[in-house]
Amino acid sequence: MERLLGVDTGGTFTDFFLVEPDGSVRVHKELSTPARPEEAILAGVAALGLRGASFKLVHGSTVATNAVLEGKGARTAFVTNRGLRDLLTIGRQARPELYALQPQPVAPPVPRELCLETGGRLGADASVVEDLSAADLEVLVAAIRALAPEAVAVTLLFSFLDDRFERAIAAALPADLFVSISSEVLAEYREYERGIATWLNAYVGPRVQGYLARLVQQLDGVSLRVMQSSGLSCDPGFAGRRAVNLLLSGPAGGLAGARLVAAAAGRPKILTFDMGGTSTDVALLAGEPQLTSEGRIGRYPVGVPMVDMHTIGAGGGSIARIDAGGVLHVGPESAGAQPGPACYGQGGTLATVTDANLVLGRLPRELLLGERLALDTAAAERAVGDLAAALGLDLATTAQGIVDVANEHMQQALRVISVERGIDPRDHTLVSFGGAGGLHVCALAEALQMREALVPARAGVLSALGMLAAAPGRQRSRSIRRPFTALAESEVAAWLDELAAAGHAELVAEGLAAQDITAQASVDVCYQGQSFTLNLPWQSKAEVETAFHAAHARRYGHRLDLGLVLVNVRVALRATPAFVALPEEAAQRPAEPVGTGRVHGIADAVPVWRRERLPRGVGLPGPLVVVDALNSTWVAPGWTLTADRHANCLLTRTAR
C-alpha cells in the first residue's frame, strides 16, 4: 500500500491525516492561509517529510465556500432566454425579514448589466418556442466581449430536456472564458434553483480551477482527488469544472470519518457534532450520509446533491461580545486563523470560546496545540476579563457564560437536525469531533438527554481522515415530472441506465477500475400537487409507492389519497475508498494520568490523561480531562469514559 494523505482546509487550521504503507498513522496541523490555501498544504506536506515523495492525496477545500460567503468570486455574466433577465434577482420572493417595513436592500447575485438575453427557448414538452439563430449568437458574443467577464453562466428554459441551445452558446463563446451551462451543472427543473447553481459554478469556478492547478503543479506526480459536497471524491479536472459541487467539501469529509469511527464502535445511529475554529456542523446518520438538494450557502439555494447538515457560526474561535442592551452574544464573528483567539498569542485581544475554556481549566494550560503552539493564559484572562468588567461579573462566571451561550447555539442546531424532524436523539450516540468539540460534548449530550457520546481518536483531524474514507464517485440526476401511474418500469430503468452509463464512463476515464464501480438508483417522488419530494431507493413501481406512503407518514405524520409524481431519477456511483479500516492502538505505559489540573466548579484537582495512555476497555469516571496533540476532551461529573481498541473514547452517562 502506498502512502495516503487526507487534507482538510478549514477556516482556522489545515488538517493532515497520513497513513503509512505499514498502516501506522501520523497527523499534523497548520494554520490556514486563506489568501493562497495551497501554501498551508505545501507546508504540511513538507513538515510530514513528503516533499518529492509518492503518495495519494484526497483533499477537502473551502476555496469555493469562502469565495461565495465573502463575495470574492469571478466577474460573471448570466445568459438566459428573452424575458428572463431578472430571473436570479427575483428568485422566490422570499424575504429574510418578513415583517420589516423598511428592509435593507440586497444586492442581486448578478448586476443587471451582466444579465443577457437571447433565443433558444423550449417549451415544457421540449418543443422549440424560439429558435437560436446565427444572428442571436453573433449579438450575444459581441455583448460578452464588450463586458469582458471572467466567466459565463448559461441557463435556458427546459434545457434539461434538450441542451442543444446551451451547448451552441458555449461553443460560440471565446475559449479563454470559464463557461458553465445548466444542463451539465443541474439537469433538473426549477429554473431559479438551476440558474443559481449554474451561476455559482461559474462564479467560483475560475478561483477553484486556478487553486487546484497551482496545487497540482506544486505536487507534481502526486495522485490528487478532491472531496465533493455529496461525500464522494473526484479528480481535480472534474472539481474545477464543477466547483459548485465543492461547497460542503470539508464537512462532507467529517461525516465520512464519523461514520467510519462509529461503525468500528458498533454505533450505527449517530448525531455528529463537528466544532471547528469558525463554525459548527451537525448532521444525523443511520447508515449512509443523507443527501439533500435543498441546501443553502449563505442566502443562496444550492440544488446540487450535498450532505444534509446544519451549520451555525459557533466555533472555538467565535468572538464573545456585549450588545447595546448589555446582553452577552457569542459568534457568528470569528477570530479565524489570524489573529486567532487571544490565547494563541498572535495579537488577538477579543475573548473567544477557546479563551473561555482555557480560563475555566477545561483546556489544560500546559497544552501545546498541534504540539507547537503554546497557549497564553494571561492573554486569555485579559480578554475574558474585559468582558467581565463590562458585565460586572467575576472572571470564571463570565467564562462560563461564554461557554453556556455557545452551547445553547449548538444544542439548538442539534435539535433542528433531529427533534424538529421527528427523530428522538436519545436513540443515537453523539459523535463529537473538530478541534473544539470534545470540550462541549458532555453538556450537549445532557441537554438532549442522550446517554452516550463518542469522541474519536485524533478528533481534531477527523475530517482529514474522512477524506480517505470517502469513496470516489459521482451523483447524476435528471428531471422527469410525470405521473407515476403513467410510467412503465422499463422507462424508469432506461433513464437510470443512461445516467449510470454516463457516470461510469467518467469514473473509468479518471483511472478507476470498471469492476470496482457500483451504482445505486433512487427516485424523487411526491404527491400530485406537492412541491417537495422524498428520495427513495428504486426497486419497482409497487415497492416505491408503498415505501413513499410510509416515509411520508413518518416525516409528516400523515398520508394522502392522491396519485404520485416521479420528479427526478438519480444514480450514485461509488468505487472503493482509499482507507477502510481504523488501526488498533495498544495503550502506552504507564497507564496512568500525567498530572492534575484545576477546573472551575470542581472542588478537587481533576486528573489529566494523555489519550495514548488511557487503559483500553476500562471505565474511568469523570471529572477528568483527556488531551492529545490536537484536542482536549472534558469528561464532566456523572460521565464515564471507556477507551476502545482504536483509542476512541466512548462516554456513558451514569448520573441523571
> Is the pLDDT assigned to residue 308 strictly greater than 60?
yes
Residue 283, beta-bridge partner list = 272, 309
Read off the pLDDT of each residue in 222-239 and give the average, rounded to a whole number: 92
pLDDT in tens, 350-365: 999 999 999 999 988 7
Q: Which of 317, 279, 274 is nearest to 65 (CA)?
A: 279
- Chain Cα centroid distance, residue 511: 26
Q: How far apart are CA 75 and CA 55, in angstroms?
A: 36
Torsion angle, CA of 147/151/157/163, rounded to 10 degrees? 120
pLDDT at 369: 60
Q: Which of 213, 229, 254 is nearest to 467 (CA)?
A: 254
Contact 521, 573 (CB under 8 A): no
> Is the pLDDT assigned to residue 338 strictly greater than 80?
no
Q: How far apart are the first and last CA of the chain?
A: 48
Q: Concatenate the DSSP letters of all residues of 91-123 into one string.
A: TT---SSTT-SSPPP---SS-GGGEEEES-EE-
How much of the chain exceeds pLDDT 70, in percent? 98
Q: How far apart are CA 440 and CA 231, in angstroms?
A: 26
Q: Which of 442, 444, 407, 173 is nearest to 312 (CA)?
A: 407
- Chain Cα centroid distance, residue 175: 32
pLDDT at 142: 97
> Is the pLDDT assigned to residue 372 strictly greater than 70?
no
Contact 122, 162 (CB under 8 A): yes
Q: What does residue 476 show for φ and ψ, rounded to 5 degrees?
A: -125, 145
Q: Concatenate the DSSP letters of all residues of 39-78 into one string.
A: HHHHHHHHHTT-TT--EEEEEE--HHHHHHHTT----EEE
pTM for the full predicted model: 0.86
pLDDT in tens, 178-198: 999 999 999 999 999 999 999
Q: How far apart are CA 631 and CA 601, in angstroms?
A: 22
Grouping H, G, I as helix, E, B as strand and the rest as coil, residue 322 is strand
Residue in the block written with cell 442571436: 136
> Over 557-599, what HEC string results?
CCCCCCCEEEEEEEEEEECCCCCCCCCCCCCCCCCCCCEEECC
Handedness of CA 160, 162, 163, 166 (dihedral sign): negative
pLDDT at 291: 85
pLDDT in tens, 81-137: 999 999 999 998 877 778 888 888 888 999 999 999 999 999 999 999 999 999 999
Burial track 21-42 (b if 16+ CB lie within 10 A, e otherwise): eeeebebbbbbbbbeebbbbbb
How much of the chain exceeds pLDDT 90, in percent? 62
Q: How far apart are CA 121 and CA 157, in angstroms?
A: 6
Burial track 85-103 (b if 16+ CB lie within 10 A, e otherwise): bebbeebeeeeeeeeeeee
pLDDT at 34: 80
Q: How do the domains of the chain map onto residue ranges?
A: 3-68+209-249, 75-194, 318-393, 473-574
Strands 564-574 and 619-621: unpaired
pLDDT at 115: 97
pLDDT at 431: 95
Rg of the chain on CA atoms, in Å: 26
pLDDT at 46: 93
Q: Which of 219, 221, 178 is nearest to 199 (CA)?
A: 178
Instruction: Write the CB contacts of 283 (distance below 8 Å, at least 6 apart in sequence).
Output: 251, 255, 271, 272, 289, 290, 307, 308, 309, 310, 417
Contact 514, 493 (CB under 8 A): no
> Is the pLDDT assigned to residue 370 strictly greater than 60?
no
Residue 254: how many CB atoms within 10 A of its CB? 31
C-alpha cell at 628: 492529545
pLDDT in tens, 399-433: 999 999 999 999 999 998 898 888 899 999 999 99
Contact 644, 617 (CB under 8 A): yes
pLDDT in tens, 274-307: 887 777 889 998 877 788 888 888 789 998 999 9
Which of the pair, 518 or 555, is modelled with greater confidence? Answer: 518
468 confidence band (pLDDT: 50, 70, 90): very high
Instruction: Write the CB contacts of 640 (distance below 8 Å, at least 6 apart in sequence).
Output: 619, 620, 621, 622, 651, 652, 654
Residue 7: how many CB atoms within 10 A of its CB? 31
Residue in the block written with cell 458585565: 391
Read off the pLDDT of each residue in 571-597 and give the average, rounded to a whole number: 86
373 confidence band (pLDDT: 50, 70, 90): low
Lowest pLDDT segment from 40-44, 607-611, 624-628, 629-633: 629-633
Which among 146-160, 314-328, 421-435, 619-633 has the top mean pLDDT? 146-160
Query: Residue 15 has what DSSP assignment?
Result: E
* Range 3-68+209-249 has CATH code 3.50.50.60: no
Q: How far apart are CA 434 and CA 631, in angstroms?
A: 8
Read off the pLDDT of each residue in 314-330 and give the average, rounded to a whole number: 88
Handedness of CA 600, 601, 606, 611 (dihedral sign): negative
Q: How far apart are CA 500 and CA 526, in angstroms?
A: 23
pLDDT at 270: 94
Read off the pLDDT of each residue in 267-271 and give the average, rounded to a whole number: 92
Q: With both helix axes pointing from N to C terminus, report the angle between 164-172 and 134-147 in degrees, rounded to the nearest 10.
A: 50
